[in-house]
Structures are given as C-alpha cells and as structure tokens.
Structure 1
Amino acid sequence: MTSSSPYDPPAEPDRVSAPPGRPPRLDFDRPPAATGLPRPVGPSLRRMRRRRRRTVLLLVALLAVAGAVAGLTELVHRRADPPAGNPRPANGFGAGARVEPGPYPTGASGSFAAADGRSPIRGYDGPLRRYRVAVEQGAGQDVDVFAATVDEVLGDRRSWIGSDELRVQRVAEEAAADFTIYLATPATSERMCAEGGLTTERYTSCRIPGRVIINLARWMESVPDYGAPLEVYRTYVINHEVGHEFGEEHQACPGPGAPAPVMQQQTYGLDGCVANAWPYVDGSRYSGEPVDGI
C-alpha cells in the first residue's frame, strides 16, 4: 500500500484520447473521480483558506461601514434640504428651517437700530403699506436677519397680501414708513406697550398705532404647549400683530382640532385648536368668530 503525503504534488489532469495526428487535450471540465476518501489538506492550504476567510470578513465589514456612511450622508442631506416648493430663505428662518433658541437679555439699551435698504414691493393689488424694521441694541439679535424674516413672512402669499387688496414694502426711512416692527427685550417691550395703554407683564407682544412690538422672550422661546416649531410661532406673532395694524380684531377657535385663526390669541393658549401661522389657508381667508380682548 502506498501512502499519500499532504505534500505530494497533485496528479496530472486526465488526458482524453484524440484522433490520430492530434495531440491529446487536457479535460479540465470533467470533475475528478470520486474516491470516497477525504481530500488531504496541508498547512499551506489551511493558511490560504484562513487568509481567504479574513479577506471575505474584511470586505463584509467595509461594505457595512460604507452603507452606514451612505445612510448618514442621505440623512444629513434630507435634513439640510428644504421641502420641495418651499425654498429655505438665506437667513435660516421660515418654514422647514430649524431654529434653536439661545440665551437673551431681559432688558437692554432701549434704543433701536433700523435695517437698511428696501425690499421689493410684495403683493398684487391695492394700497401700498410701508413698514420699517428695528431691533433693540444690546438684545443680541442681528437687525438684518430679523428684517429678512419679517420680509419673508409678509411677502408670503399666505400672509395678508393674499387678499389681493394690499401690498407691502420694507423701507429704511422712518418718515417713509407707515408703521415700524420692533424686536424688543421684555422690559423695553412692556414699557413701549404701556405707552399705548396695554399691560403685557413682560410676556406678550403688542401693537399700538404705528408700532408692532415683538417681545424678545416670545421670539426666542415661543410659549408652552404650542405644539409647533419655534419658526411657526415666529411667523404667527408677526402676522398676528401686523394684522392688528391692518385693522384685524381677535378671533376665537372654531372648534377642537381645527386650525387656530391667526388672529386668535395663540400666545395665551390654543383652546383645542392646533397652531396656525397664516391668515390665508389653501388660498382662502381663514378666520373665527370675533371676540373681545386686547
């Protein structure tokens, strides 16, 4: 009996007989004959198999990491991209934008800096109402950013220009403005509102003739249980207080689960309605029953 060593060279492939005058060919397609004995495995073959297994495992791990990176990249792009048909404004506010509140002063200088320049005229027909935008100095807010946010809100088709009976434009000159929109610290806003006979307890925003006064605390924090992102509240408070300047009065919630009218006092609670920042919804004026109040 002959013994087979793991180190013996493999047998030559079977040769297939060829017609006379032709060299025999090697038949690589035919499987080796079964012997019923286990095939010997030498150390070199074992090492080769181990290397192959490590290579396969490494490729699987690399593919898993690549998939995770691709998924994270897609998630970042989805968060960064605004919804279709609703481009993100350059100032970072507006629908689709994520706004993180930060610390703010409760009182500051009491003097204001106004935004420069003019916006395009927004609207389709009707009289032109010009507004000026100013931010209290020392409030920690950029007047140009605030002005751009106001411009975006009031220039939206869902805002008051949706009536097709009103146009708006921001101006820099106080003499050219019909009214001014202020962003003021709680202490300053309370004092300014009190000049018009209104009590805000440093909490709410207000409007007195020719002045729309946005409370910085509400601008930075919204209100408890509002149920919508901060940028929605910011849009609401601009439209609400400017609505007063345009002659609108307070309105009530139409019913549980319904959108809150923009002239509802949403700062004090939604009364069963859900937050809504716009006077025009689906192209139509949306309102509730009038109520008494400030």
Structure 2
Amino acid sequence: MVSRLISDRRREPEPLPSDPTAAREVVRAARHRRRMEARRRRYMIAGVMATAGLLAALGLGRQLFFAGDSQAAPDPPARQDEPMLTPPSQPASPPPEAGPAKGEGTFSYATSEGPVAGANGGLKKYRVAVENGAGVRADAFAAAVEKTYADPRGWTAAGDLRLQRVAGEGAADFTVFLATPVTSEQMCATAGLHTEGYSSCRITGKVIINLARWNTAIPDYGVPVADYQTYVVNHETGHELGHGHEACPGQGRPAPVMMQQTYGLKGCVANSWPYVDGQLYTGPKVP
C-alpha cells in the first residue's frame, strides 16, 4: 500500500523556547517540515500511479503483439452490391433464325402515317426505323409496333395517353428502332447501358429493340415469339413513358411488363401487357 511507503510515525512535539523570536523560528521550521513531507507524499503517490499505468500498458501491448501471430485482424464487412443482370448462357453461334449479328449501321423508316391509338389524353408521336441489312422491312416492323400500341391492354388503356406513328423521319417524340445485336449494343452504350448485344434498351427518345431477341425471344419463355415481341415493345416503351423496373410479385403470378423478363421470369409466368383485367398490373419496385 502507498500509505506504508511513507512513515506514519508521529513526531513528539518539541518544547518551545522561552524567547519569542526563537519560538517563532521553531514554529516556522515545523510548518516547513510538514509542507515538505506532504509534497514528498504527493510525489510518491503520483510515481506509484504512473508506474502502475506503464506496467498495464506494457502488458496490454505484449498481449496484442503475441495475439497478432495467431489471429489476423477481422476483414471489413463485405459490400452488399446489387448483382448485375447477365444474359443467360448462349450457344457459341446464334441460330440462323436470330438474324445477322451486324447490319449496315444505317436505318430505313416506315413510310406511312398510322392511326391514333387511344381515345383520350396527350398525344405522343413516334417514328419506326429498322437497320438496313437486318432482314426485316420497316413497314412490317411498324405494323407490329402499331398493333401493340393500339391494343386495349397497352399503355393507352388508362385514357390519359394517345400514340401515333408519323411517316418517315417526321417530327416525333421518340423513335422505335429495330437493330442488330452489334448496333443495338453500340446505341445503348452511348448512354452507359451495356447489353452485351443480348438485350434491348431505352435511352431518351429512343426505344431500341435487339433483332436477335425480336426473332427468337428468350429460352424457356413459355409463350410464342410474337408474345415476347409485344412484351419487349411495351417494356422499353414503358421506360420512355417514365416507368421503372419491377420485380415478380409472387410464384406463379403474371410477370409485370416492367419486369426484366428477358433475364428470366423468376417464378412468374410470361405477360406482355401493362394492363391486366382492365387494371394497371405492377410488381414491387426495383431500386
């Protein structure tokens, strides 16, 4: 104990001299002695505490030093990034029915103007173009797009939107392109979208449909290619109209048209239309 390091023996009081001056000197000497003893006691206590702290620190450092040989520092938490969607595995050579992988990089436009789809709402005009060398006529592709937009299950069903195809390269709000895999990938990449030549995309003012997907759909889609064609036009047009991606709402239920069905149905069944049974059909929003 610290108290034992310092003598607690009490001094016997000294008799004061009869002379007043000498008596004062004795008292002063006694006070000075007590002050010095108190100061020495404080120094000794502080020294003991400092020594104890140093020993504790050395012991902890030694423990950490030797622990480092047998146990590595914990790794930082792994990042929980959203997984990137990747195309399903494809054969080394696309089937002939997929069409050419690369066209001329130029486009031909549908020649005639189409009727207005939808009864009410603001009118949006669109053009239709097909890449030269894709093996599809622009007017034939335009007819398929026009049929999709005119269906009562399509985006005009709410009664707040009308759509009309313009002739050739006339003024329009957006253009629907059918492009080969190489060209569609290049077009999508201008906005930072990397489709790997597999999927379709939308960038501002451009709905870009991949020719191979248009011709062959996707593996295990479960419905005719024509239904996939309707889906992909509605999906990418939905983006142009301001809709984001959605997820499958439940096993065995229809896939929302804004679900990325091209990358798999995730337990849902194929669905080509934004409106089902007269109601806008949606799933959980994808961040």
Alpha-carbon distance in structure 2 between the residues aligned to 1:247 and 1:147: 22
Alpha-carbon distance in structure 2 between the residues aligned to 1:121 and 1:275: 28
The within-5 A match list for 1:128-139 is: 128-139=123-134
The within-5 A match list for 1:92-111 is: 102=97, 104-111=99-106
Deviation at 1:196, TM superposition (A): 1.1
CA RMSD of aligned residues (A): 1.0
2:234 counterpart residue number: 239
Equivalent AA in structure 1 for residue 260 of structure 2: Q
Alpha-carbon distance in structure 1 between the residues aligned to 2:207 and 2:117: 19
2:163 counterpart residue number: 168
Equivalent of residue 150 in structure 1, options 145, 150, 172: 145
Equivalent of residue 120 in structure 2, options 121, 125, 131: 125
Equivalent AA in structure 2 for residue 244 of structure 1: H
2:249 counterpart residue number: 254
Equivalent AA in structure 2 for residue 289 of structure 1: P
Alpha-carbon distance in structure 1 between the residues aligned to 2:161 and 2:231: 19
1:223 is the counterpart of 2:255: no
1:179 counterpart residue number: 174
1:284 is the counterpart of 2:253: no
Deviation at 1:130, TM superposition (A): 0.5
1:88 counterpart residue number: none
SS of structure 2 residue aligned to 1:163: coil
State the Cα deviation string for residues 100-134 of structure 1 (Å, max 9, x = none).
x8351100100000001111111011100101000
Structure 1 residue runs of 4+, over 4 Å off?
Answer: none
Q: Gaps (5+ residues) in structure 1?
A: 1-100
TM-score by length of 1: 0.64
SS of structure 1 residue aligned to 2:282: coil
Q: Is the 8 A contact 2:98 2:212 kept in 1?
A: no
SS of structure 2 residue aligned to 1:102: helix
Higher Rg: 2
Equivalent AA in structure 2 for residue 151 of structure 1: E
TM-score by length of 2: 0.66
Deviation at 1:174, TM superposition (A): 3.2
Alpha-carbon distance in structure 1 between the residues aligned to 2:168 and 2:204: 18
State the Cα deviation string for residues 35-77 of structure 1 (Å, max 9, x = none).
xxxxxxxxxxxxxxxxxxxxxxxxxxxxxxxxxxxxxxxxxxx
Give me the identity figure in percent.
59
Equivalent AA in structure 2 for residue 109 of structure 1: E
Equivalent AA in structure 2 for residue 117 of structure 1: S
SS of structure 1 residue aligned to 2:234: helix
Q: How many pairs were matched up?
A: 192
